[in-house]
Structure 1
C-alpha cells in the first residue's frame, strides 16, 4: 500500500474502499472482506443510507478503531451552521463512533438552491472547523467543489480543506479542478474511477491491460494513483475487492499516462455542482 499525507499532517492510503450502494448484510459482508484483505480507508455518506452497516462491520472485525480511517459526508440539503452540527451528530450515532476521521461537504450549495450559497457553505465549514477543534473530526474537506466554490470558501475559512473528492476517471478527470487543488495544497480523491463501467471495452485500456497482465480496472486505478490522486473503488464482489488491491506492483509509463489522459469524454455522470437537482 502507498500513502499520501494531507495538508493537515494526517496520512491516508492512496487506495480506499467505496461503499456507495453497499447496504444491508451484503454491505456489511463487503466491508468485512475488505478489512480482512487490508483495506483501511472507507468512504461512506449520510446520503448513502449505510453508515450503520459500515459501523457494524468495523465493530465485527475486531480491528482497533484507530487503525481504520472513516470518511462520511454532509448532505447538500443540510448546509448551514446548526444543520451541519446536527447532521454530523446523527452520522456519528449511526456509525456508532465517537469521532470521524474525514468529514466532507458532499456537494456545495449553489445559487439555484440557496439565496446566498457562499454563506451556506461558509456556515457549514465553520461548524466543521469547530468540530475539528473539539476533536470530533481529524480532517475536514469537501466534495464536488469547483475552484469558484473553493475560492468563496477560502475567503472566510480558517482551515484550508484537506481533501476534495471529485468525479475523476479516464474520459473525465477535471484537470482544471485538480490543478487548482494541487496549487492550494488540497489533495484530490476520485469517485467513480471506472466511469460507471464505461472503461470496459475501450481499446486503449484493453491493450494496456494485456500488456501488463492486469485487468482494465487495475489499469484505471493505477492511472488514478499515478496522478497522486486517492482512489476509492466500490464493489461487493469478493474477487473484485481483492483485485483492486493489486495495483502497486507495476507502473504505467509517462507516454501511457498521457494516452489515457487524452481519451475522449466517456462515463461522465452528468452531475454538476451548479446544476443540482438537475443533471446535464
Structure 2
C-alpha cells in the first residue's frame, strides 16, 4: 500500500515495487480514505509506504491510527520524508513506524528496507504461530507482565535501531541472549518458566551497561542488547559478562528440575555483515536453535564473512 498525496510519488513507488515482484499495489492520495478502507477491512497489505506530510491528516497521525487497528498492528510501515523533515521521525517511530526513507530515494535502498522489514515480520509471525499453538489459558499466563520496566520493549528496540543513520547501523553490534532449556529436555510448567524468566531479567537488569547501549526483553526467553561502535573483543566481553552474572546468581529451576542451574547462551552479530535488522533476525533464529540441546552458557557468532564483514 502506498499512501502519498503526490501522483508522481505514487508512480515512482509503484514502479519500484513492481521491480521486486509486488504487482498488487493499492494507492491512496487521501490518508482519510486509506484509514477508512483499513478500518472496514476492504483492503489488505504486506507493507505500507506512507508520506509524512499530507493534507487533512499527516502520516504520523495516520500511522498511529493504523496501529490501533488490531489486524494492522504488525504490518510494517516505512515513512517517506524529505531531508528537511527528518526531525519529525522520532514522532513517527513513537507512532509505530518501522523504518523511513528520504526523498528522492534510490530503488536499491527501498528494496533493502522492504526486505528487512518483511524478514523481521516473517520471523515475528513464525514465533507467533508457535505461541498460538498453546492453549488460551497457557497464553494468558505466559503473557502476564513479569519483566522489570528497566527493559525496553521489542518495538522500542526496533525503533532505536531504525532511528539511527545508515552509517551508525553499519557500526552496530547485536547480542541476543536466550535462557537455556533444561538439560534433560523436560517440559517446564509455564508458571515455573515464567518465574525463571523474571529471575534472569532481574540479574541481567543489574548488569551495568553504558547509556549508549540498548537492552531489551524481546519476547519469552529472548533478550537483546545493541552496542554502537563495538569491536569484536568488546562484544565477546559483554556477552560473557552477562552469561557469568547469571551463573554467579546460582538461580535454580523449580519442581523436578530444582537441581539444574539456570544459564543463558548468547549469539553475537558483529557489525558490518548486513543491515542491523537482518543481523537481529539472524541472531534470534540462531539463538532459537543453539539453545535447544546445545552447550549451556555458550557464545556463538553470526559469521559475517559471506556478507563481506569482519570475522570475529
**Shorter-chain-normalised TM-score: which range?**
under 0.3
The TM-score, its normalising length taken from structure 1, stands at 0.28
TM-score using structure 2 length: 0.25
Larger C-alpha radius of gyration, 1 or 2?
2
Higher normalized contact order (CA 8 Å, seq sep 6+, divided by chain length): 1
